[in-house]
Amino acid sequence: MEIVVTYISVDRVTKRRKFKTLAGAQAFAQRWVGETPELGSNYAVSFDGVGTIYVYGATLADLFPKLERWPTNDEIEARLRGDTQPCQAFALCDRPATTTMQHPILGAVPACERCKAKLENL
Ligand SMILES: [Zn+2]
């Protein structure tokens, strides 16, 4: 499988390279936008916003393994609102709370949509 990585800078410099291995594609992508870029829906942007990486034949998660996981829409919206309160529905959940749910003892507790849906379906 061939991996095609395209780098585009804000001043429209474009570099496109093809790779036979993921390691090569990772090195190229991380060379341009760093190991932990910001992720958009189908692209990765360097922290300074200068460079953007697009990839075909692999995922952005493949290219930037130091990014633990893709932020969900809930998390992005919570960040935009400045709401960083963590979900307290499950001890192991570290997603930001985006709603509340009724706990039989604690009353309304902050929760993320995923945990709320999970608990409502129990
Ligand atoms: Zn949760």
* Ion ligand 1: residues, CB < 5 A: 87, 89, 93, 95, 112, 115
On whether residue 115 sits in a domain, the answer given is yes
Same domain, yes or no: 58 and 28: yes
List the domain range (segments joined by +) for residue 93: 82-120
The mean pLDDT values, 10 residues at a time, for the chain of 122 residues are 94 95 96 90 89 94 79 72 75 80 80 84 74
Contact 3, 55 (CB under 8 A): yes
Q: What is the pLDDT of residue 108?
A: 82
Cα(41) to centroid of ligand 1, in Å? 22
Residue 54 has φ and ψ, to the nearest 5°, of: -120, 145
Same domain, yes or no: 25 and 52: yes
Same domain, yes or no: 31 and 58: yes
Cα(88) to centroid of ligand 1, in Å? 6
Q: What is the pLDDT of residue 106?
A: 75
Cα(91) to centroid of ligand 1, in Å? 8
DSSP 54: E
Cα(56) to centroid of ligand 1, in Å? 32
Q: What is the pLDDT of residue 53?
A: 96
Cα(94) to centroid of ligand 1, in Å? 7
Same domain, yes or no: 41 and 91: no
On whether residue 71 sits in a domain, the answer given is no
Average pLDDT taken over every residue of the chain: 86
Cα(119) to centroid of ligand 1, in Å? 10
42: CB partners within 8 A, 6+ apart:
54, 60
Largest distance between two CA atoms of the chain:
58
Same domain, yes or no: 52 and 93: no
Residue 100 has φ and ψ, to the nearest 5°, of: -125, 160
Instruction: Provide the H-helix boundaries in 34-69.
Output: 60-63
Same domain, yes or no: 9 and 59: yes
Q: What is the pLDDT of residue 101?
A: 83
This prediction's pTM: 0.56
Q: What is the pLDDT of residue 83?
A: 59
Q: Count of domains in the chain?
A: 2
